[in-house]
Amino acid sequence: MAKKKVLLVDDEIFHVELLEEQLKEWYEIIRAYDGLEGLELAQTEKPDVIVCDVMMPRMGGIEFCEALRNIPGMANIPFIFLSAKGRIEDRVKGLRVGADDYVLKPIDIDELRARIDSRLNRLESIKAELEQFKNDIISNVSHELRTPLTIIKGYIELLLRELSNDDRTITNYIEQIDSNSTHLDIIIEDLIFLSELKSGTLKFDTYPIFIGELLENILIQEQETIRHKKLELVRNFTPDMGHLNGDPVRLSQAFRNVIDNAIKFTPEGGKIEINMIDSPTKTHVYVRDSGEGISEDAMPHIYENFYQGDTSATRHYGGTGTGLFVTKTVLNHYHGTITARNIEQGGCEFEICLPKN
């Protein structure tokens, strides 16, 4: 097994040579004598860990660390400072620019090795988590992506064959294509959200918006599915209700997942009700369906990522198990809440509360 690369950066040549002698049994050592040289070697050698002195000429350790963290692909390399300074403010300064750890001089080599290994182990753990995340996506999503696309292709073929038939038949085919395209769009948007969340690139914009208008747009997108299932839709809100500042794309995604679930779990001919209560400080949205409700076993887990209440290969309802996790994550960003409850008469109701400040 290849040794992990450790980049040693220190302007004291004797100190670098001594550390290399003490560490070379366990790691491949790369040497640099100031921050500028260290920055160059970090990009060419791609070390697994950087051990760096704080006080150096040309470019010190703090400046080196800060510059490194702004280079694509370098932000997650474990960075350990060596310093003769034990002041808490000096350590805080280093941690704020992206350092992961501090070792005080004079250096105990066993402590340094332990800290290097700890950071390497943590990095391996993160890589394993990312690998598991990728596997979860492949496992949970491949089927869900394939099924809508298969249906879309099938109806397109039927549409081409039936072009000479009456318009109603063609319209039904187009409605099926539209419905499954909507379902596929929801899945893809949630996957993009999860990818950005995992990579740390998830962003929220802020604009004046109306929650009522977002809900109205969502229902327009879902209208063909609602009509095809012959659902009764009751809405007690207007487009000008729920004025607040937020990201219309993210909040639409959050509400869309809840509404899509209500449509999915409501049987043909059932009823969906969307109510809004608007106050000067909060907006409450209630999405109620007439489906089977949520089992007691499933209720504590419904906001977990990739959670499936029914994991069998023949499960009746599709979905990746990401929707409510995405919704809760968005609402948490706005200090909002989501609560699910079963209704005595049958079905389930989700209450979403968003503060206006």
One domain for residues 249 and 336: yes
pLDDT score at 311: 43
Whether residue 176 sits in one domain with residue 70:
no
Residue 119 lies in a domain: no
Cβ partners under 8 Å of residue 302, min gap 6 = 294, 309, 324, 340
CA separation (Å) from 104 to 13, 19, 35, 39, 281? 18, 14, 19, 22, 51
Are both 262 and 331 inside the same structural domain? yes
Of 230, 333, 220, 213, nearest to 285 (Cα)?
213
pLDDT digits (tens, 9 = 90+) for 4-61: 999 999 998 898 899 999 999 999 999 999 999 999 999 999 999 999 998 888 888 8
Q: Output Rg (C-alpha) for the chain, integer angstroms.
A: 28
Q: What is the pLDDT of residue 312?
A: 42
Per-10-residue mean pLDDT of the chain, 357 residues long, equals 90 90 92 92 93 89 89 87 75 81 87 91 84 68 68 74 66 72 76 78 91 95 87 95 94 95 93 95 96 90 77 49 90 95 92 91
Query: Would 122 be classed as within a structural domain?
Result: no
Asked whether residue 165 is assigned to any structural domain, the reply reads yes
Does 140 share its domain with 221? yes
Clarify whether residues 29 and 152 are in a common domain.
Answer: no
CATH code assigned at 266: 3.30.565.10
Would you give the end-to-end CA distance of the chain in angstroms? 55
| Structure-token match 């779990």, residue found | 265
Residue ranges with strand state E in the chain: 4-9, 27-32, 49-53, 79-83, 101-104, 207-210, 232-236, 243-246, 271-278, 282-288, 337-342, 348-355
Same domain, 206 and 88: no
pLDDT for 349 equals 96
Does residue 113 fall inside a structural domain? no
Identify whether residues 250 and 139 lie together within a single domain.
Answer: yes
Specify the amino acid at residue 90: D
Q: Could you give the CA distance from residue 280 to residue 351 in angstroms, rounded to a whole number?
A: 18
Query: Which ranges in 200-238 belong to alpha helices (H)?
Result: 211-228
- Predicted confidence at residue 290, as pLDDT, reads 94
The answer to whether position 124 is within a domain reads: no
Q: How many structural domains is the chain composed of?
A: 2
Hey, how many other C-beta atoms are within 10 angstroms of the C-beta on 94? 23
Instruction: Please state, in angstroms and rounded to a whole number, the distance separating the CA atoms of residues 213 and 99.
Output: 45
CATH assignment at residue 90:
3.40.50.2300
Residue holding tokens 């996957």? 191
Whole-angstrom distance, CA of residue 351 vs CA of residue 341: 8
Residue 72 in any domain: the answer is yes
Whether 73 and 176 map to the same domain: the answer is no
Same-domain status, 135 and 271 = yes
Q: Which residues contact 279 (CB under 8 A, 6 or more apart)?
A: none
The reply to whether 92 and 152 lie within a common domain is no
Looking at the chain, how many residues does it have? 357
In Å, how far from its chain's centre is CA 109? 39
Distance in angstroms (rounded) separating the CA atoms of residues 192 and 198: 10
Are residues 10 and 147 both part of a single domain? no
* Cα distances (Å, whole numbers) of residue 140 to 136, 202, 215, 238: 6, 22, 28, 37
How many other C-beta atoms lie within 10 A of the C-beta of residue 252? 21
Domain closes at, from 77, 107, 137: 107
Note the pLDDT of residue 314: 37
Considering the domain boundaries, does residue 121 fall inside one?
no
- Report yes or no on whether pTM surpasses 0.85: no
Buried-state track 322-357, b at ≥16 Cβ within 10 A, e below 16: bbbbbbbbbbeebebebebeeeeeebbbbbbbbeee
Pair (72, 190) in one structural domain:
no
pLDDT at 244 (0 to 100): 93
Domain for residue 115, yes or no? no
Structural domain boundaries enclosing 36 = 4-107
C-alpha neighbours within 13 Å on the C-beta side of residue 309: 19
